[in-house]
Amino acid sequence: MADNFKAIIYPVRDAEKAKALFTALLGEPPAHEAPYYVGWTIDGQDVGLNPHGFDQGMTGPVPYVDVADIKSRFDALVAAGASVVQEVTEVGGGTQIASVKDADGNIVGIRSRAA
């Protein structure tokens, strides 16, 4: 699995309003809808809405990099000086996510998906 940005997740307060806006923006309805996530995949790029994102510490959109070994990459980021925002968490379907904050306050996420 190549390491590259494959997802960007937006925290939203009103999932229905945000879904309408992103449907208009992306030109198609979401491929996935659940109480915890609404998402599209456009040309291999995932775009998601997290209605609980602000409660989870998100302050704006978070890019996620796909990694093969999320635990070792997470540990490497923390060892390199990143602050933990979200520990490695299972989010369904074998997908795990985590996020850290760099020294400038930027949040970056990592994601590992089941093969």
DSSP helix/strand/coil, 8: strand
Q: Does the structure show a pLDDT above 50 at 1?
A: no
- Band of pLDDT at residue 6, cut at 50, 70 and 90: confident
pTM as predicted: 0.80
Tens of pLDDT, residue by residue over 87-114, are 999 988 889 999 999 988 889 999 998 7
| CA 6-11-14 angle, 5° bins | 130
| Spatial contact of 31 and 40, defined as CB atoms under 8 Å apart | yes
Q: What is the DSSP letter of 96?
A: E
- Structural domains of the chain, with CATH: 5-112 (3.10.180.10)
Residue count (the chain): 115
